[in-house]
Amino acid sequence: MSRLAQGLKLLRWREFRLRPVRCPFCGPSVLVRLRGDDEAAVRCLRCAASTVHLAMGRAICKVMPGLSGRDVCEFSARGPLTAWLRRRAASVACSEYFSDAQSGELRDGVRCEDMQRLSYADESFDLITHTEVLEHVPDDLRAMRECLRVLRPGGVMLFTVPVYAGEVTVERAELDADGAIRHLEPPLHHIDPLRGEGILAFRDYRRDILQRLREAGFVESALLEALPSLPWSNGRPVIFSRKASN
Ligand SMILES: [Zn+2]
């Protein structure tokens, strides 16, 4: 479906709003709200970045302002964040997850990577980014350790997941010994924009995601403050974690 057709499907004229915004990807722009009850309906008018991507772009500019000369790993192969990283960084390793492909395999020219079994060499990247991925990974601790392995000493991982109020993460599902899904809570699916279908959330993260990152071996982890100048947004926090410098 085209971007215009997607937008028209969401549009409610009475809730339609425009605001000037400085987009980290395309500069001075306009933020458009197509309706009031869905944050996915708030976008940069020029590059269509979502509030999640805008928050990520701002976090990257703050944490790693000089991207030139840096090697980046992003777990998505399209969208405004990926396009911007490709323009800025020395190199960007982009990938998607395909359940029927091995890490490192290509599907229609797109590299497959399973975060739990990355095909990248140790200490390959200065920065790892991902948005709304980790809650769909069955073994997130293993995925965090894999990310740590492929980061260089002092390297940074910045990412978003839905972080709910409260302290302790709720596990919604797990895989049994045969790899079958066992539901611990009623199944919750998030829409995957690449495939247009729902993908299962294995957990609802809460604040203890920061401890989980330290358990995986990151020496520092923090929720970066929500960006106050982004209107109509609940302020999706970006999660920062850093690997020890040697
Ligand atoms: Zn933009």
| C-alpha 80 – ligand 1 centre gap (Å) | 8
| C-alpha 84 – ligand 1 centre gap (Å) | 10
| C-alpha 215 – ligand 1 centre gap (Å) | 36
Q: What backbone phi and psi angles, to 5 degrees, belong to 100?
A: -105, 20
| C-alpha 32 – ligand 1 centre gap (Å) | 11
- Nearest Cα neighbor of 162 from 188, 144, 197, 125 is 188
| C-alpha 137 – ligand 1 centre gap (Å) | 29
pTM metric for this prediction = 0.92
Q: Give the number of other Cβ atoms within 10 Å of residue 50's Cβ.
A: 22
* pLDDT given at position 144: 98
* pLDDT given at position 117: 97
* pLDDT given at position 193: 61
* pLDDT given at position 228: 56
- Nearest Cα neighbor of 135 from 97, 105, 82, 78 is 97
Cα torsion 104, 193, 83, 136: sign:
negative
- Nearest Cα neighbor of 75 from 161, 5, 179, 177 is 161
Domain annotation for the chain: domains and CATH numbers: 1-48 (no CATH), 50-242 (3.40.50.150)
CB 138 within 8 A of CB 202: yes
Q: What backbone phi and psi angles, to 5 degrees, belong to 37?
A: -105, 10
Say if residue 6 is exposed, middle or buried (CB neighbours under 10 Å; 0-12, 13-18, 19+): middle
| C-alpha 117 – ligand 1 centre gap (Å) | 33
Q: Give the number of other Cβ atoms within 10 Å of residue 186's Cβ.
A: 7
The helix/strand/coil state of 157 is strand
| C-alpha 82 – ligand 1 centre gap (Å) | 12
| C-alpha 27 – ligand 1 centre gap (Å) | 7
CB 63 within 8 A of CB 79: no
Question: Average pLDDT by consecutive 10-residue portion of the chain (246 residues)?
Answer: 72 90 93 85 91 92 92 95 96 95 94 97 98 96 98 98 94 93 92 73 96 98 76 81 95
